[in-house]
Copies of this chain bind each other. A is one copy, B any other.
Amino acid sequence: MSLSTTVTDARVVFTPSGKRGYFPVGTPVLQAAQALGVDVDSVCGGRGICGRCQVVQSTGNFPKHSINSKSENISQLSEVEKAYADRPKKNLKDGRRLSCATQILGDCVIDVPPDSQVHQQIVRKEADAFDIEIIPPVQLHYVEVWKPNMHDPSGDLRRLREALEREWQLTDLRFGPGMLLSLQRELRKGDWKVTVAVDYLGQVIAVNPGFKESLCGLAIDVGSTTVAAHLCNLRTGKVLASAGMMNPQIRFGEDLMSRVSYVMMHPDGDKEMTKAIRETINELAENVAKQANRELDEIVEVTFVGNPIMHHLLLGINPVELGGAPFALATDESVRIRARDLKLLLHTNTRCYVLPCIAGHVGADTAGMILSEAPHKREAMSLLVDIGTNAEIVLGNNERLLAASSPTGPAFEGAQISSGQRAAPGAIERVRIDRQTLVPKFKIIGCDLWSDESGFSAENKKIGTTGICGSGIIEAIAEMYLAGILTPDGVINGTLAENSQNIVAEGRTFSYILHDGSQHINITQNDVRAVQLAKAALYAGIRLLMERMGIETVDRIRLAGAFGNHIEPKYAMVLGLIPDCDLKQVSSAGNAAGTGARIALLNHESRNEIEEVVRQVEKVETAVESKFQQHFVSAMAFPHKTDNFPNLAKEVDLPVENVHQDSYEIASNAAKRRRRKK
């Protein structure tokens, strides 16, 4: 041994945190890490069981007078580690050590790899999205409980509390009465060794006999059309399984308002719908648990997003107040409720967290979108839009956030459109129109080929071209406009009927033939009007918020939801759904509401965050803003050359302003001429 051995304490540096300190030779690495507040996971409390506390010794640059040579500065692989590595399904990757079973023998640099940290990051694939930091809402703690004896008549619960305090410094935990029902059995089953699941509010969720590896949570997006569930590992954040189902409430009414009407007309209508959605959630839970080979009672935490009516029906609150002015929510706070109170068949103590609603038309789904997109963390002025029967609009940055809802109606979902349909195989989703010949080509869902490519016919025979979905309508109308078939104020220009087989008169108006197969798929003048009404409502809502914010342009636009996910930003802008913006800064946000539910599931601190943000959001009720009508009227037309769309103008050749000729008359004359020719 060298002279330096007279120095009794060894210097330890942990990476990546950079935390450092001196510890007596022989100190377990885990203990040193915990003393320094280094983020190293552990469930078993240093018993070499859980394998969570794995570290790697780094070959860092160290001062010369290290007290030991490198090969000796941490202890050799111990029997505990060998035993751990030998257990089935366990392993200790090359160079990895169990920090609880490794002693510090000299100066060393210890790296804590990401998967050994409690607070891991989930890197999100979507462009322009923040990573998700994992701060699990429920954590596991393995303890050994003292057995009862005749000399100490304390209850089993008290001895469990003592163990949790002794080994984990956990105090003031709340044990729900439900816990008591199984506590004695579980303690004895585990021979007084149990793994206790404790949530972030100090509530004990489960006492599992023996050592328990990990827990799951469910993030659920209750849409009016579909319900989606993601089963996640609460430690790693990994999505273990996903599933979606139709919202069974559809049989009570296609859209939200018809469901509220159903409640108004049927005394127990709300109860029927509450029962239906809860059953569906139970089915989804079973489905994902089965996929991931997990038991239902391993699901200990659930988060929900949904619009206000879905939110109320899920909780069992009659949504009738949301059906009429002043659209009063029962609550705009987040709700924490036991899963069993929602009749969910998960662990008996599982808790659900329902994100807060913002206003009568702006629900927990919008809160989820805000949490996912985090406009409040950015300097850039963001516009978030989630388009459904109502469009939820959020505008703002780290200084101020506004939110509103616009009544777009169901046109974007394919309803009220003559050949409209839901996005499903056979639906036209992409459209291009030749600027010269005015002949269209299109793509259908389920086939990668354009309709003019060879092979399409064969494919089409299998799938069929059955209608046009929301994104298809947007492209069709935008292309019609760019091709000059539509005037800026939305009239199908009948004068072109003379030169194009695709433009045909229908009564006093004209239609554009998109597909002339077994099913005729036309874009009618009424279709155009329906889309105009919808897009004008959306745009008017956006303008209202921009005006309130005092801005003329936004820095970035994120389109959320199924519809927002599928439309081409350029075409959305051509139609004037969204304001002018650098097209590189316009993108899809995916299922932002669902991602918000997942963030709230994996990071419990994000719940305080979104609750705080929601309280700060300024809610704008479009229905009582007189300016909304003005904006609505002026938003009916499509953007043209002299409008202020500089970014869009760079991308496409916008038509000139409508010259207000009596296009109907000209067009109908042309049509008559053509009909005579036939």
CA–CA, A183 and B331, complex, Å? 9
Q: Is A337 an interface residue (CB 8 A)?
A: yes
Within 8 A of B (CB), among A310-326: 315-318, 321, 325-326
**Is A329 a contact partner of B156 (Cβ separation < 8 A)?**
yes
**Which residue of B156, B330, B359, B623 is within 8 Å of A330 (Cβ)?**
B156
Contact B315 A180, beta carbon cutoff 8 Å: yes
Q: Does A185 contact B (CB under 8 A)?
A: yes
Residues of B within 8 A of A326 (CB): 147-150, 153
Answer yes or no: A158 CB below 8 A from chain B CBs: yes
Residues of B contacting A337 in the complex (Cβ-Cβ under 8 angstroms) = 177
Residues B624 and A150 in contact, CB atoms below 8 Å apart: yes
Does A80 reach chain B (CB closer than 8 Å)?
Answer: no
In the assembled complex, the CB of A148 is this many whole angstroms from the nearest CB of chain B, namely 4
* A269–B619 alpha-carbon span in the complex (Å): 57
Cross-chain contact A177 with B332 (CB below 8 angstroms): no
Contact indicator B328/A155 (Cβ below 8 Å): yes
For A178, A329, A336, the residue with the greatest tally of chain B CB atoms inside 10 Å of its CB is: A329
CB of A327 within 8 Å of the partner chain: yes
* Contact among B183, B321, B335, B341 for A184, CB-based, below 8 A: B321
Instruction: Report whether B335 and A177 are in contact in the complex, using a CB–CB cutoff of 8 Å.
Output: yes
Query: Given A181-B316, A315-B180, do A156 and B623 touch, yes or no (CB 8 Å)?
Result: no
* Chain B proximity mask over A152-177: 1 for CB below 8 Å, otherwise 0: 01111110000000000000000101
Residue A368 is within 8 A (CB to CB) of chain B in the complex: no
A476 to chain B, nearest CB (A): 36
Are B155 and A621 touching (Cβ within 8 A)? no
The answer to whether A151 has its CB under 8 Å from any CB of chain B is yes
Q: 1/0 per position for A431-458, CB-CB distance to B under 8 A?
A: 0000000000000000000000000000
Q: Does A357 contact B (CB under 8 A)?
A: yes
Contacts of A48 in B (CB 8 A): none
A159 to chain B, nearest CB (A): 9
B-side contacts of A315, CB under 8 Å: 177, 180-181
Q: Among A178, A318, A333, A357, which residue has the most Cβ atoms of chain B within 10 A?
A: A333
Query: In the complex, which residue of chain B has the Cβ closest to the Cβ of A342?
Result: B177
Q: How far is the CB of A499 from chain B (nearest CB, A)?
A: 51
Q: Report how far A178 CA is from B342 CA in the complex, Å.
A: 10
Q: Mark A134-150, 1 if CB is under 8 A from B, else 0.
A: 00000000000001111
Contact B317 A156 (CB under 8 A): no
Given B156, B331, B338, which contacts A155 in the complex, CB threshold below 8 Å?
B331
Q: Given contacts A180-B330, A330-B183, are A621 and B153 in contact (CB under 8 A)?
A: yes
Other-chain residue from B148, B333, B335 in contact with A328 (beta carbon distance below 8 A): B148
A318 touches B185 (CB 8 A): yes
Is the Cβ of A181 less than 8 Å from the Cβ of B333?
no
Say whether A407 faces chain B, with CB atoms less than 8 Å apart.
no
Chain A, residues 291-325, CB within 8 Å of chain B (1/0): the string is 00000000000000000000000011110010001
Nearest CB of chain B from residue A227's CB, rounded to whole Å? 20
Q: Report the Cα distance A535→B147, complex, angstroms.
A: 33
List residues of A whose CB falls within 8 A of some B CB: 147-151, 153-158, 175, 177-178, 180-181, 183-185, 315-318, 321, 325-333, 335-338, 341, 357-360, 362, 619, 621, 623-624
26 pairs of residues in contact across A and B, judged by CB atoms under 8 Å: A147-B326, A148-B326, A149-B326, A150-B327, A150-B621, A150-B623, A150-B624, A153-B358, A153-B359, A153-B619, A154-B332, A155-B330, A155-B331, A155-B357, A156-B321, A156-B328, A157-B331, A158-B333, A177-B337, A177-B338, A178-B341, A180-B315, A180-B317, A183-B331, A184-B321, A184-B328
Q: Which 5 A-B pairs have the closest CB atoms?
A: A153-B359, A155-B332, A148-B328, A155-B329, A157-B331
